[in-house]
Structure formats: structure tokens, C-alpha cells
Structure 1
Amino acid sequence: MLDLERLRALHSVATYGSVSAAADVLHVTTSAVSQQLAKLERETGQKLLERNGRGVRLTDAAELLVAHAERILSLVEQAQADLEAHRGSVVGQLTVASFPTAIRGLMPAALRSLRADHPDLRVLLREEDPMRSMPLVLRGDFDMAVVQDWNNEPLPLTEGLHKGVICEDVADVALPAGHDLAGRDTIDLKELAGDPWISSSSDSICCDWLLRTLRAIDSEPRIDHQAYEFATQLSLVAAGLGNIILPRLGRCDVPPGVAIVPLSAPLSRRVYAVWREEAARRPAIRAAVTALRAAIPAGGGEEVAARVI
């Protein structure tokens, strides 16, 4: 009978391209992966890996076995989810990827609630940009990811994933206090055409979105400075170096020298949890989504960070 962990090792090598990459994902040594593969070769009586320069490549027999392994591992995950659902208990381990703003604005309260209500559940959290986290969920690196999209640019959901809406997060403009429009009640984004902007790193979903949003109003973006965290971006705004689009969930302590002005045509983003179809029945997934929705900061008027929808 084929050993499940050996199949998992082979599937990881096929997915990530090398023995060392598979070892990193499986949190074991490269030697341990090599031993598992050697045992699988003896078990099947087939050569599974061949040297290819400095790396390895899968043989035809390995490719055939990987196709079966993918289905087997999916069925095992579905069986585990069904058993957890049948038992109705929130137990085990839940690995979660999340973008930085949600980690700061939602995760502390959500994780505290999960720990208090479900002490037998262990949640492991890692910061990831949404463009990277959804593929990682799909291939099994994470059980769930917290991601975002914007009302003018919906998130395409990859086949094989389900999503649940956590909240809607309204965005304002943060301007240097000395800006000519800083005292306005609202601003049309077109009024800021030609201004310098501050954004997150160029490989992030937020930077891509800002570029497309500004170009949609016939304004070629002038992004002079890039910083990932909103707190850092606000410091640059306070120094008079540019404007930012600031979601309310990402609003930390606003430093002196910054004016926050709502947009006359509001921009907002939706925050989602996404998970694999096979895991949809896991009580741990449902508990995490519930905790995230309950973690929306409370407030009133413009101080509301986000709202559950």
C-alpha cells in the first residue's frame, strides 16, 4: 500500500520544483524528503526522479503517480473536513495568510477571540500580499487567506476556492496639511491630477490598483515614494511629500501635518476570507470567519474603520 506521507513528498517536489523547496514547505530537512522518495521508489519498484543539471526532474512514472497523489491528498483533506464537521468541534491547526492592514486591524482581536472560544484550535498566521496568498491557499500552503479587492476592480476568484465577505473598508485621501484642498469637506480624485503620490511597493496589489485608478481619470501617476506600511506612508505625507489613498481599516495614529478628506465618489475595498472547496465544511474555517467579522473596529461617523456586509 502506498504511504501517504511519501506521496505528499513527491507531490511537493512536483509542485515546487525541487527537493529543497519541498522540504521548506513540508518543514522537514532535504534529507528527510530524499529518504521518503527513496522509500517510495522501493515501494513502487519505479524510478521517480532523474538528475537534471544541478536539480532533478520527474520520470514518466512519477508524473503518473503525482496525478493520483493530487486526487488522493484532496480526498484526504475532504475526509478530514467531513470528520471535523461531523464532530462539530473547532480543533486542530489552521494556517492563515493575510495582508498587512488586516493583520493590524482585524487579526489581534480575532485571534484572541478564537483562543478564548476554541482553546483546542491552533492558528498560525503569516503576512502575505493577496496576489501571492490565493495561489498559496490553492496549492495547500495555507488553509485560509484574508484578501481584498476594490469596488472599481473586483477580485477574480480562482477556480477551486470559496470566499466569504468580512467587511467593506472605505478609503479617504490623506493630504499634507498645507495642500490647497486640505480644508475641503470632500475631494474629487480628478482634482488631484498631477500631484505626487505615495504607494506601497511596486509588486503589491495596492500599487497596481492605484496606478490603474489614477490612469482611469486621465492622470498619469507620479509615484515618488514607496513604503509598504500605512504608518510610514503617513509620515511621508506629513513631510509634505505626496498624497495617499488611505483605507479606514489601515488608519493608525494620524500624525500632525496630515489632513484626511473623504472622496466625493467613494472608493472602498472589500475584505474577504478565501479557502479551498475541500475545506468548506471545516468548523475551524467557519469559526475564523465569524471571529474576523466580529473584530471589525467599532465607532461612529468618519471614524468607522469598516462595516460588516
Structure 2
Amino acid sequence: MLNLERLRILQAIATYGSVSGTAEVLHVTTSAVSQQIRKLEQETGHQLVKRSGRGVELTFIAQLLAVRAGQILALVDETEAELQAYRGAPLGELTLGAFPTAARGLVPRALRLLAERAPELQLHIREMDFDSPMIQVERGDLDVGLVQDWDHVPIDWPATVRKKLLMTDMAQVALPHDHRLAGRPTVRISELVDERWISRVRRSTCHEWLLFTMREQGTEPRIVHTVNEHPTQLALVSAGVGLAMVPTLGLGSLPDGVRVVPVEPELTRRVYAVWRAEGSVRPSVRAAVNALAAVGDQLSTGPSPAGA
């Protein structure tokens, strides 16, 4: 009998194109992936992978099996969802992928609420920095994902995925307390074009968003420091070495000497929960999404997402 987890690994190799990519997505070692593929070859009696340069290439038989594996795993997921729906209560395990500011500012509160509402449900959190959880949700590697939708980077919604708007999040500019604009109730973006900036690293959504925002003003932002974490950005702002554009979810506790001011026109992003269509009948998915929505409604800094 074919092993489902080995089929899942083969399908992941077909999807992500490499053993290392598969290991990263499935949170296992590359040697574990290779070992499972060798065992699957023994089960099927066929060679499934062959070396190609520094990577691997699936054989024709493996490609056929990967397609069938996708169908089998989708049916298993659908069956598990139906069985859980019959049980009624949200229980078991659920994996949630979230971008960093949501993982810090939204998820912990939702976990506390979910512990009260569904004590038998265990959530496993994966923070995902540069890659959107959307693909992994679509492939079934995550049960629920939190994604962000900026106006300049609209989301392409797959037909197999369902979504719920959790909140809108407004970006603000963080300035040293003695900055010329620090005492203002709002700041126009056009007043910030000559400033020095502290930004997240390239490839990050926030970095691309800063570039887009400043280019709309006809200028390139003068980025003098690049750091990953928003708390580090704020510490540098406190030191007086630059400004940072930070979403409200990324603010946390402000260090001494930092002021945050809303910008005009408003810069907002929408935060969605996403899950596979067949997951809609799972009480665990519904419970998790409802808890996230309840917290998101409390935190929203833009128009209310109620009813979205």
C-alpha cells in the first residue's frame, strides 16, 4: 500500500521543484525527504527521481504519480473535513501561517480567545516572512493563512481558496521626538520625500511598498538602513538616524524618543484569513477564522471589516 506521507513529499517536489524547497515547506530535513523518496521507489518498483545538475528531476512515472497523489491527498483532506464536520466540535490540530506583523500583533490574541472557545483544538503557528501563505494553503500544506493585500500589490485569488477580511491596518511614520514633523497630527507624504529611511530588507512587502509610495511622489527613497524587525527599526528611529514607515500591527511598545504620526493620504492594507474551499465545513477552521476575525475587528485601524 502506498504511504500517504511519501505521496505528499513527491507531490511537494513536483510543486516546488527541489528537495531543499520541499524540505523547507514541510519542515523536515533534506535527508528525510530523500529517504522517503527511496522508500516510495521501493514501494512502486520504479525510479522516481534522477540527478539533474545540482538538483533532481522527476521521471515520467513520478510525474504521473505526482498528479495522482494530488488527487488522492485532496480526497483525503475532503474526507477528513467531512468527518470533523460530523463531530461538530473544533478539535485536533490546525496549522496557521502568518506574515511577521500578524504573527506578533494579531495571532497571540486570537490564540488566547481560541483557548477559551475551543480548548481541545491545538494550533501550530508558522511565521512566513517573504513568501505568502497563499500557495501553501492552496496546496494543503497549511490549514489557514494570513495574507496582506496592498493596493500596489493586489492579490490574485485562486478559485480553490476562500477568504475573510479580518481587518484593515494603517501605516504610520515613526519619527524621532525632536523631528520637525513630530508634533503634527498628520503628515503628508509629499513632506517626506527628502528624508532618510530605515526600511525592511529587499523582497519584503514593506520595502516594496516604501519604494512604490515614494516613487508616486516622483522620487526614490533614500534608504540608509535595512533591518528585518520593526522593533529594530524603531530603536534606530529613537537614535535619530532616520524615519520608518510602520504598519500599526508592527508598532508594539514604542521606545522612548519615538513619535508615530498618521500620513495623508492614508496608507492602508487589508488582512485576510484564507483557507481551502473544502475546509469551510471543518469546525476547527471555522473556529480559528472566527477568533481571528473577532480580534481583527478590535484592532482594525481603517473602515470596519464587518460583513466582508
TM-score normalised by L of structure 2: 0.87
Aligned equivalent of 1:281: 281
Contact 2:165–2:272, Cα closer than 8 Å, also in 1: yes
C-alpha contact 2:152 2:209 (8 A) present in aligned 1: no
Q: Which amino acid aligns with 2:214?
A: L
In the TM superposition, residue 208 of structure 1 has moved relative to its aligned partner by 0.8
Kindly provide the amino acid, as one letter, of the partner of residue 188 in structure 2: D
Match of 1:88 in 2: 88
Counterpart for residue 128 of structure 2: 128
Deviation at 1:53, TM superposition (A): 5.0
1:194–1:220 CA contact under 8 A, matched in 2: no
- Specify the alignment match of 2:144 in structure 1: 144
Q: What displacement does 1:166 show? A: 0.8
Q: 1:244 to 1:158 in 2, by over 3 A?
A: farther
**Alignment partner of 1:67: what SS?**
helix
Partner of 2:229: 229
Distance in 1 (CA, whole Å) between partners of 2:161 and 2:33 is 30
Instruction: Sort the Cα spacing of 1:113 and 1:70 in 2 relative to 1 into closer, same or farther, 3 A.
Output: same
Which deviates the most, 57-66 or 290-299?
290-299
**Which amino acid is 2:15 matched to?**
T
Residue type of the alignment partner of 1:40: E
Task: Give me the whole-angstrom Cα distance separating, in 1, the residues matched to 2:36 and 2:107.
Answer: 34
Change in CA separation of 1:12 and 1:296 when aligned onto 2, cut-off 3 Å: closer
Offset at residue 75 of structure 1 (A) = 1.8
Letter in 2 for 1:38: E
Check conservation: 2:199, 2:223, Cα contact below 8 A. yes
Residue in 2 that maps onto 1:33: 36
CA contact (8 A) 1:198 1:227 kept: yes
AA at the equivalent of 1:10:
L
Q: Distance in 1 between matches of 2:301 and 2:157?
A: 25
Partners of 1:92 and 1:120 within 8 A in 2? yes
Q: Which residue of 1 aligns with 2:266?
A: 266
Render the CA deviation track for 1:230-275: whole Å, top value 9, x for unaligned. 2111111111111122222222222222222222321111111112
> Aligned-residue CA RMSD in angstroms?
2.6
Match of 2:164 in 1: 164
Please tell me whether the aligned partners of residues 166 and 297 of structure 2 are also in contact (alpha carbons under 8 angstroms). Answer: no
CA contact (8 A) 2:200 2:229 kept: yes
Give the % identical residues.
45
- 1:191 CA displacement: 1.0
